[in-house]
Structures are given as C-alpha cells and as structure tokens.
Structure 1
Amino acid sequence: MQRALRLLEAVGTHTQGATAKQLARSAGLPLGTTYHLLRTLTHEGYLRRDDGRFYFGASVDGIRRADTRQSEHADLRGRMERLRDELGAAVYHAVYQDGEVRMMDVVSGPGQPPVEEWADFRSTAHAHAVGLCLLSQLGAEERLDHLSRHRPSAITPSTSGDLRAVLRRLDAVRPTMPVLERQEYALGTVCAAVPITVGSVVATVAISLPVEQGDRLGPAAARLRSLVGAMFPAFVR
C-alpha cells in the first residue's frame, strides 16, 4: 500500500504524465515493482496510460470530487452554525429535488433544540415552513403534482388539511419573503423559512423556535433573510 501511494504521489508531480522509468526514479522503486503497481493501479482506475505515459485516472478524480464535497459541506455547516449562534435558533437547509422535500442538514444546540421529525417531512410539506417555502417556489402544476401525491391533512389543530386553502396560501407567498408557520407541524414550535432560487435549484434555509419565544419569530425571520441573502451561493452548491 505504501509503495502504491508513493507511486501515485510521483504521478502527481508530473503534470504532463510520466513513463514507468521516470516514475520508478521519482518514487525510489525498482522498475519491476513499478511495472507491477502501474498495471494494478491502471486496472483499478487510479491511473490511465496514454502513449506510454501515466496520468491520474477516473478513480482519483472521484476521490478529489468527494474531498471537494466534504470541504463544501464543512463550509456550509460552519455558515449554518454562525446563523444559529446569531439568531439563537436551530437552523435547517432543505431542497426540493426529484419531486420531494429533502432535508440536507440541521444545526442545533443546547439552547436551540431541533424540531423532532415525528411525521415524515416529505409527506407533510403543507404543514411546515420548510415545505411551504419550497412549494411556493414551484409552478402551479408542480405544486398540484406534489400535493396529489402527499395529500394535505390536519396533523395538528393549527394545520389546514384543505387542498384549496393550502394552494391559496402558496399563491399568497411573496417572492423572497419569509414563510412563517406556528405549531402547524409540531405543537410547541414556530418556524420560518426563506427561499433560495438560483437557476433550477429550489432551496430554503429555515429556523425554529420554542413557542414561548414566538414573539421573536418575525424579527428573526427578517434577519435570517438579510443574512442568507449575503451568503446564499453557499447553500445551493
């Protein structure tokens, strides 16, 4: 394993590719060992051979992409943690993808408890701020398609289970403005979500507060909107 890694490191120092002999010298390996490792690494997709020279292959590119995604996720989570600390609320990032609500990440803390998913977020989009915000960014046909697959129901005393009422509410959402929800998904919790639309990406960042802090929801939502507006590219990568 160590010799294979040394050989990959040697490939990385030759931006224009390198021959087996060049790589053997760079890695400090016997030529016979180098040939054997090159065959194995090429077979596994870590290297590719072109006109007698070796370059990084698709498997290495996949590792690079995974590393980039991990770095971007860490950066995004750091931004969400800063939002949590400034707003004093749990923070959520969600997208609408392949016809469903997809929760991407949640950042909470000892004083900022998250909403417990007691009913599937995907099938209760009509009842929580995240789902309402995402659905409000869709066209009329897409909304109807979603709500025909996930029929609205009154999951709390504050939830509307009437399809026409839900559609009217979605029509009334003003673009770029926060969507507020009070105990419609979970008793004891109020939430707000702000829309993020870049190209074909439909996304949202949301916050939740205990109902006892309900008077903070409006100001916190307005602040969330201004903060996310300055950093929104990070939420749609």
Structure 2
Amino acid sequence: MALKHEPTEPTAPNHSAQDALRVLETVARQSAGVTEAELVRHTGLDPERLTALLRMLRREGYVEQIADGAYVTGEALARLTSAHGRDQALREKLQGTLDRLRDSVGAAVYISRYVDGEIRVTQYADGPTTPAVNEWVDFRFSAHATAIGKSLLGQLDHNGRRDHLSRHKMPRLTSRTITSDRLLLSRLEAQPPTVPHLDLQEYAVGTVCAAVPITAGAAVGCLALSLPVEHAHRLKQAADALNRNAAPVLLSLAI
C-alpha cells in the first residue's frame, strides 16, 4: 500500500495522500488499535495535520474509532484491499467521492485516465443543476481543447506528448481552440504542475472546465469539473476546491 511514483513537484493532494497512507499503514500494523498520540509518534506528523487526516480517513471509512478512542482499520479499507471484488469496490468508492465533490463544488466532476496512449473518462458525477458537458467531439480526439486532455498530456514527458499529438489531429472546435502543436507544447511545458489546467470555451461554446492531476503509481490521471459559461466567475474558486479535495480520490487509487 504505497504511492509508487511522485511527480517532480508534488501537488497538495499528493502530499495529503502520501501522509494519509503513512497513517493507514501504521493503523493496519496495530490490530488492537492505535491512539492519536501514538500515531503522532509513529508517523512524525504534526498533531493538527494528523487530526485533519484522521477526520478525512474516518469520513471515507478507511479508519474507525473504537470505544477507548483508539483507531482501527475501517470497512472501506478492507473492501479495497480484498482480493475479491476490489474493482467493484473501488468504482463504488470513487463514485461516492465524486458525488460529494459535485455537491461541494457545485459542478459536474470527472475522473479521467491516460490508458494505452488514449484519454478515457472513467467516471463522472452530474445532476440537474450541475450538467455534464455535452461530448459533441469524442474526448479521445480533443485533448488539445479540453482541460482533461491538457492535464493528462501535461503529466507525460515531452516524447509522450509529441507521440499523442502525432496520432491525433488538432481541429478547431471553437474560435478559442489552440490548433498549433508548437503553441500547445510550449504552454504545457510552461504550466506549473500545481496549477489547474483550464478550458475557457476551447472545446465547446458555453462551457468552461478545469482539471487537476491525480497521479497514483505509474498511472496518469486527473480530476476535472465543468461549468456553464454563465458560472465562469466561479471557475477558479471551484478549481481550488477540487484541488483541495482531490486527496480522497488519489488515496482510493493508491491503496
């Protein structure tokens, strides 16, 4: 149970997930339970930081507090580490997390992975007041125009980006779409890994999007949101909230 890969500049969710994994590993080793004071000693984490992580781990069902106040592993962790039904358990866990994120940021939210050289939106959560973006052009063929695509390409090395763009044309989808591979590559190179990628009506007129990386192990992934353009003034605040709350998603993928 460990994060196998760490970006050059880890994002805040990466740090939180790594710290949470340290806490989980410590709890898992103490079958009779471990107190918060003992966790401080074993993990070296600041007490205030540990309290916040334990709150998140309890909410996600990864740890439980028993009668004497000590912490033991929770049911959600048992399901994700089981040899049977793990894929279904992970899908259900991620869907629940996405549903909560949708409600807390007030936007449709998506998980996307880069698998075998292609972009795949693997899960999403939308609702009557948080509509998903209309996929009028297949996301696999529009990485140059979407926040999801730019976030995933941004996590590849230079050769990986060039390989993807060599296999996919860059059609103009709106008047704002970048159609120059040279310009797109230079922007991806200049983008700090801790700053969300944006799509300001580059994929579809009437929609704005943001995406943040969630890289666990060797897999490249991102968490994204979309908003109707009339809510564009909320995009930065929503993207920041998405980034702050990405750790549970990353943690589920890393366990």
TM-score (norm 2): 0.66
1:201 Cα shift? 1.0
Matched, 1:88 2:144: no
Matched, 1:114 2:132: yes
More helix by percentage: 1
Query: What residue number does 1:130 align with?
Result: 148
| Alpha-carbon separation, structure 2, partners of 1:231 and 1:183 | 26
Does the 8 A contact of 1:203 with 1:236 survive in 2?
no
Task: Find the counterpart in structure 2 of residue 75 from structure 1.
Answer: 93
1:147-226 map, 5 Å = 147-226=165-244
Structure 2 counterparts to residues 33-112 of structure 1, below 5 A: 67-112=85-130
Per the TM alignment, residue 180 of structure 1 is displaced from its structure 2 partner at its CA by 1.1
Q: Give 4+ residue runs of structure 1 displaced > 6 Å after superposition.
A: none
In 1, the alpha carbon distance for the partners of 2:161 and 2:177 equals 18
> Considering only aligned residues, what root-mean-square deviation do their CA atoms show, in Å?
1.5
Task: Tell me which structure has the larger Cα radius of gyration.
Answer: 1
Segments of 5+ residues of structure 1 without an aligned counterpart are 1-63
Aligned length: 174
Identical counterparts, % of pairs: 46
8 Å Cα contact 2:94/2:249 also seen in 1: no
How far is the alpha carbon of 1:230 from its aligned partner? Answer: 4.8
In the TM superposition, residue 67 of structure 1 has moved relative to its aligned partner by 2.2
Cα pair 2:199 2:210 within 8 Å, conserved: yes
Question: In structure 1, the residue corresponding to 2:214 is in which secondary structure?
Answer: strand
Q: CA deviation at 1:69?
A: 1.2
Shift of 1:185: 0.6
**Secondary structure of the corresponding residue to residue 125 of structure 1:** coil
- Scaled by the length of structure 1, the TM-score of the pair is 0.70
1:193 positional shift:
0.3
CA positional deviation for 1:235 = 4.1
3-state SS of 1:194 partner: strand
Is the Cα–Cα contact under 8 Å of residues 76 and 234 in structure 1 kept in the other structure? yes
Partner AA of 1:108 in structure 2: D
Q: Aligned partners of 1:161, 1:173: CA distance in 2, in Å?
A: 18
* Partner deviation per Cα, 1:61-98 (whole Å, 9 max, x = no partner): xxx85622111111110000000000000000000010
Query: How many angstroms apart in 2 are the aligned matches of 1:192 and 1:234?
Result: 21
Whether the aligned pair in 2 keeps the contact of 1:201 and 1:236 (CA below 8 Å) is: no
